[in-house]
Chain A
């Protein structure tokens, strides 16, 4: 279908983008990669009066090393991100999860910032962001601020970005010393996850010294599986310990029932996939 007509702006600086977005008011929308927004426009479920295309902001593209973290520009496309050597070396979980996003065509147009700002709890990257404690660098009419991942996702398609604010970059802590894995379960290859699990595990002396686990599509926003993490940390790195901890994956989650799956099945899947994700992340297998 054809979208309702709208104004279009393609600013060349971040300041201009913020200004355009602020001036555009409530019905202005950011176009980052367009892979979720444009289908909604075409279905006429979204009817913005202004689209602010960030495609001209080269400064928001790319990955750089910033000591103990990587800084990833919000307009970095999925296809570029998953090939980036810094990301592969220091945040392989992000690369692995990005590789599962939709299909090749989408990955060549979609951006990490667009994907995160869309805040679809069925998206793969929000759960990775909260698992890795990514910081969101945000710029708006009031200047720059940093939002921790845990505070960024508020609800279904809803973030804590304020009026006129846009996501500029992500500060991804390096995962050196951690093993990571993203386990995705979907109906068909290019579909959203029915459930996904992002896991990062750090081992020391046969014990699990650190664990971060986050779930995709198990609530109205990405869910950190705290009960699993607590059960894992300090446990011995064994299959039994992982299985036992993973059994608590659905605690505190409130998964949806939809045309793809029931809440009960999602809760079950979460435990199986968490076990697999944690085992893969920690290299913990039956001997």
Chain B
């Protein structure tokens, strides 16, 4: 028998170069935009320039007369049939949930909302004809600021709802029985740190713009889409359009990144679906970058009001969080739930006993927000890690020391947290010690002191960030308790072909993560099949009929176990076949090193491989009675708990006090993501994640003007950093295996993003504390840093 707790020798843990990279990097693959079908037409979308307006007239008749145009229509033309875009996470019973038509009908509520479409024989003609569509807008008052939106006499995004408040969701450790009452904790506090932090609005900025092709000509309508969630999309298309689910096939071909930004059922997908049905021919839509920045969902955009209670010895007693979360104009697939994913993480790695979290979702005339790398967890981690530094400063303690005094000891796991989760494992001490050593913490502190003493115009700051996150979304029962509409399980199938090659089908939907490589490594070890002989299939509901796709660092932590379980089933199904071939009793067999052998036989003795068994069942000439002539197996796995990767990141920044320029001098990341399947992939995830977190700290922000125009509508103004703007990242790992996971893996997709943002801001504030600076609003642009130094941002 295979023993799942043991680390298999061989492929797992090897730094395999990713097998999918050659085609992804060269682009010689099928991106949705590359698809060309016979008779295919092209769709262009006219978007609202207004952030809020009544649409009093849409006239598409002139567009119909333009060359190459096949059809044109507006929201009013499809008002009765287009349905409403889905939100799968009504977080409270009384959540205000407005209709979300794919094409606006009577009113537009954010700039970039789709108003009308043209379908033409080529893309240029479709785009040209948009100019011939006449739309009359009657401007309505715009509400952009969340606090203004909640005021008594606020202008309304959805007038018929009578409020801009989507919901209020509360967690209270006293009421939930997971800890003490927070008021009592504050009553006993010697120190209270009170802060407001702003999580600015970000744009996922995936590399491949969204693209969709819909072919209505087959027995099944086929939708190719640059999506993270082909399986969820299929269900939702069926529910929204009324098309029977078995008549819908969804394919996510190679997808160029998502970061949560493609975890969505989009207006564009449904508009393309409607258009294709209308013309009876395949239709393609690919957004431009500026369309993407304007209309694909955004992330973050929260106001965090925080109060931390502590004793003067540094012991944290409790935390109050009052959150405003900007929904945008409508709800996306999981919009309301994103801040709730953070609700369970504000206590982070600490043991404090009392916690209250209140989140209010707010509608504004802005692009809808939804999942973006980390989704709620980076915001929570930022808040608590900034507060811990502020507490350390208040008590004149080293920021590492304040954490030591409050974190969960490695011998205290499993640990039931004040937020109601059970952390399975971790070793915060070990990760932090390793990071401090790699960083040269003491030397940098000494340099900081000497720069302060000499009045150096370039000051040095050191930022500490210790984090954990809940990965492996998610136990279905937890999702049910949180009113999420779907489960959190994942599936895998393993098919052994007659020649011994293996097809693996996964319900995850990689869009850059490297599942084909990692899954091959896992299967190679489990079944004793060469890495090269394994093909991983995904993202097509025809081959991968079931799955819950890829987001929330869930693919390996959940899908990986389904895969391991499927491999175990393959071995179990092959066992009687092997026994038959070896003419022995099943109970005399053991499977090791890729072959069944009679127990006790030498390892070089002839055995029967999985390939042998696969060929035997293919011929099936003399299978014993009752033995199914197949070694293929499926498995579906629902996790019993989340997984909790953690780590310590340290950042040293140099701050030019004359210009406000922040330069990251060194960055150390020590992550504990459990057992590592492929260290190259983990390294890549950490690097990319750290880059994205630094981007929030220093560079990126979606900015609207007072009319609701998105001012950061190109990469000129939405400043995504490039390699030149980023530091060398020293990355190392500890491995505390996840006890509930047969692979011991915990997930790594979001770790870097979660950890790095507070590390950078803590470092900047640390550099400037002698100047009286206690906070810098993100992104910490040179001007904001300079203003803080002028006293403008002291609080």
**A→B interface (CB under 8 Å):** 1-2, 4-5, 39, 42-43, 103, 185, 187-192, 194, 259-262, 265, 268-269, 272-273
Contact = CB atoms under 8 A, between A and B. Distances in A.
Contacts of B722: 103, 188-190
B721 interface: yes
Interface in B341-378: none
B288 interface: yes
- Listed from nearest, the 5 A-B pairs whose CB atoms lie closest are A189-B724, A265-B783, A1-B288, A188-B719, A2-B124
Nearest to A262: B783
Interface residues of B, number: 27
Nearest to B784: A265
A77 to B, nearest CB: 21
Contacts of A188: 699, 719-722, 724-725
B661 A2 contact: no
A187 B662 CA distance: 11
Interface string B716-728: 1101111011000
B549 to A, nearest CB: 30
23 contacts: A1-B288, A2-B124, A2-B127, A39-B714, A42-B288, A43-B290, A43-B714, A185-B782, A188-B699, A188-B719, A188-B722, A188-B724, A190-B724, A191-B716, A194-B782, A260-B717, A261-B782, A265-B783, A265-B786, A269-B659, A272-B658, A272-B659, A273-B659
Nearest to A273: B659
Contacts of B716: 191-192
B151 interface: no
Contacts of A189: 721-722, 724-725
B717 A259 contact: yes
A261 B128 contact: no
Given A185-B659, A262-B783, 8 more contacts: A187-B699, A187-B719, A188-B724, A190-B724, A191-B716, A259-B711, A260-B717, A272-B658
A190 B127 CA distance: 30
Contacts of A42: 288
Contact of A1 (B127, B725, B781): B127
A286 to B, nearest CB: 12
A1 B123 CA distance: 9
A262 B123 CA distance: 40
Contacts of B717: 259-260
Contacts of A2: 123-124, 127
A185 B661 contact: yes
B783 A261 contact: yes
B550 interface: no
A192 B717 CA distance: 10
B703 interface: yes
B45 to A, nearest CB: 11
Contacts of B128: 4-5
Contacts of B658: 272
A4 B124 CA distance: 8
Q: Which of A187, A260, A262, A273 has the most CB of B within 10 A?
A: A187
A171 B290 CA distance: 39
Contacts, number: 56
Contacts of A269: 659
Nearest to A269: B659
A187 B127 CA distance: 33
B152 to A, nearest CB: 32
Nearest to A275: B658
Nearest to B289: A1
A10 B723 CA distance: 37
Interface string B116-128: 0000000110011
B712 interface: yes
A101 to B, nearest CB: 14
Contacts of A260: 717
Interface string B147-173: 000000000000000000000000000
A235 B781 CA distance: 35
Contacts of A1: 127, 288, 290
A45 to B, nearest CB: 11
Contact of A268 (B290, B725, B781, B786): B786
A187 B781 contact: yes
A4 B131 CA distance: 11
Contacts of B659: 185, 269, 272-273
Contacts of A265: 782-783, 786-787
A192 B714 CA distance: 13
A191 B703 CA distance: 17
Contacts of A273: 659
Contacts of B290: 1, 43
Interface string B654-667: 00001101000000
Contacts of B720: 188
Contacts of A262: 783
A3 to B, nearest CB: 9
Q: Which of B123, B288, B658 has the most CB of A within 10 A?
A: B658
A194 B714 CA distance: 17
A161 B124 CA distance: 33
B288 A259 contact: no
Contacts of A272: 658-659
Nearest to B290: A43
A191 B127 contact: no
A215 to B, nearest CB: 15
Contacts of A4: 128
Nearest to A265: B783
Contacts of B661: 185
Interface in B284-319: 288, 290
A34 B659 CA distance: 33
Contact of A191 (B288, B711, B719): B719
Contacts of A261: 781-783
A244 to B, nearest CB: 16
B34 to A, nearest CB: 17
A2 B659 CA distance: 40
Contacts of A190: 722, 724
Contacts of B719: 187-188, 191
A159 B671 CA distance: 55
A186 to B, nearest CB: 9
A43 B720 CA distance: 20
Interface in B660-701: 661, 699
Nearest to B703: A259
Contacts of B711: 259
Nearest to B720: A188
A221 to B, nearest CB: 20
Nearest to A191: B719
A46 to B, nearest CB: 14
Contacts of A185: 659, 661, 782
Q: Which of B661, B699, B725 has the most CB of A within 10 A?
A: B725
A269 B720 CA distance: 23
Contacts of B787: 265
Contacts of B724: 188-190
